[in-house]
Structure 1
Amino acid sequence: MSKTVVIHQPDFMPYLGFFHRFLEADLFVVLDHVQFVNGTSRSWTHRDKIKTPQGEKWLTLSVKKAPRDTPINRVELSDTVDWAGENLDLLARNYRKAPFYEDIMPQVEALYKAPAHLLGEFNLRSIEMLMDMLDVRIPLVLSSTLEPVGHKNQLLVDLLGKVGATRYLSGTGARDYMEPPLFEAAGITVVWQDFAHPIYPQQFEGFTPYLSALDALFNCGVDGARELLRRKP
């Protein structure tokens, strides 16, 4: 029996493409035991982008300083910075005139106002909130509960084997470091995501792709964002 699995870090408020893979998958393995990466262009675990009159801007969670090799599931949110208030203020200032602000903002406020201590837990709650809004239903399992072994491609193959995967649905950004023979030897077929970012009405001038899914929700509403996610290229 075929079983398609997605593996990815628990990113914060991800973009539409993050959820697009879930439409074609049977399980989401949350890669929460790997090192938290900060300070690079690939740092998406604690931040994502929104749109402002001045262009793109980071919506960022403040975290406590930790050793370099600290896994995502052990990173603590700051208790000295009002990151929740700052984030909500930033969203309010830039989306209060969006067509569906009054529909979406209460759910975002509820997310931020719930007690939060760990980055991974907060991110998972943000992902689950967006999954509900986008009507994407898929079970998930934390990699930290699977006694993971190996690094990079070997780690992926190990996790896929432990959850009984026959197909691995990967984002195209992984093409440069993927080693297909390792997957083939384990009886796993690698499938590449086919996602063309939809264009939709946004605030401010022009269209900016790859923003947090919040942008689509504020501008298009729940029904509109669901349609965008399922729109064929």
Structure 2
Amino acid sequence: MVLAVMQPYLFPYIGYFQLIFAADIFLVYDDVSFIKQGYINRNTILTEKGVKRFTVPVPGASSNKMICDLDFSRDVRKIKEMVRQSYSKAPYFDQVFPLICSILEYRERSIADLCIYSYQLIFDYLGIGKEMIKTSDIDYDRSVSARDKLISFCRTFSADSYINVPGGRALYSRSDFSERGISLKFIEPVDVVYFQGGDEFVPNLSIIDLLMNCSVSKVHELLRSYRLA
């Protein structure tokens, strides 16, 4: 059983979706502090004028509040119009734009619930089934270290493998996990390049850009373009 854990991000880049894809169970880490100026409620797309950031407001957002206690605003008109203007001529606009609107207009406004809905809807569009669970719904010791919380999650779900993003190399030791019967691996995207309509490829944009420009089969190919080390 392979487990991965990550804070909820709105329309993250493909590396986030590769992490979900590589795991049997994906935990959305929502009972931790909200990070302002991060990617929880914003990301970037490609417009006629270049890369542009979009943000969905989170009323009352503060680093003193947990993600699970915060909601997205219902005012999503600007981002919908930005996406429409930016990708109206993209090859898969007709299929993907309604999906993006459905996510932005989702009735449940909590950050984690809306993000999970977005991941599930995107994987459904791709014909891939994934299991996702909020950590706020799990009974575990919240007073222990970040490492021990991850080990606890692995034990709860009988996972013998935990996958982390490359940044985790500076935080976690393989030996700390292996001593507890868990294999720690790190995921890194490779060769994630696709046609965006211009001459120069712009990497690490929101998944919106990839979905608008790529067929389902191409997205499948790119989802598998990673290595575990």
Structure 1 portions without partners, runs of 5+: none
- Contact 1:47-1:61 within 8 A present in 2 as well: yes
RMSD: 1.9
Q: CA deviation at 1:205?
A: 4.2
> In 2, Cα distance between the equivalents of 1:225 and 1:104?
13
Equivalent pairs, count: 225
> In 1, Cα distance between the equivalents of 2:62 and 2:194?
41
- What TM-score results when the alignment is normalised by the length of structure 1? 0.88
- Contact 1:197-1:210 within 8 A present in 2 as well: no
Q: CA deviation at 1:166?
A: 0.6
Q: How does 1:82-231 map to 2 (within 5 A)?
A: 82=75, 84-149=76-141, 150-231=144-225
- Contact 1:22-1:136 within 8 A present in 2 as well: no
Q: CA deviation at 1:36?
A: 1.0
Q: CA deviation at 1:55?
A: 2.3
Q: How does 1:5-84 map to 2 (within 5 A)?
A: 5-39=3-37, 43-78=38-73, 82=75, 84=76
1:101-146 per-residue CA deviation (whole Å, 9 max, x = no partner) reads: 1121112222223324322221111111222223332212221122
Q: CA deviation at 1:67?
A: 4.4
Runs ≥4 residues deviating over 6 A:
none
- Contact 1:26-1:138 within 8 A present in 2 as well: yes
Q: CA deviation at 1:210?
A: 1.0
- Contact 1:103-1:221 within 8 A present in 2 as well: no
> In 1, Cα distance between the equivalents of 2:51 and 2:81?
16
Q: CA deviation at 1:15?
A: 1.5
- CA pair 78-106 structure 1, distance change in 2 beyond 3 A: closer
* SS, match of residue 10 in structure 2: coil
1:163-201 per-residue CA deviation (whole Å, 9 max, x = no partner) reads: 211110111121111133321222111012142141110
> In 1, Cα distance between the equivalents of 2:204 and 2:126?
16
> In 2, Cα distance between the equivalents of 1:226 and 1:110?
22
- CA pair 222-162 structure 1, distance change in 2 beyond 3 A: same
Q: CA deviation at 1:77?
A: 2.1
- Contact 1:52-1:204 within 8 A present in 2 as well: no
> In 2, Cα distance between the equivalents of 1:202 and 1:85?
24
- Contact 1:19-1:136 within 8 A present in 2 as well: no
Percent pairwise identity: 25
Q: CA deviation at 1:226?
A: 2.2
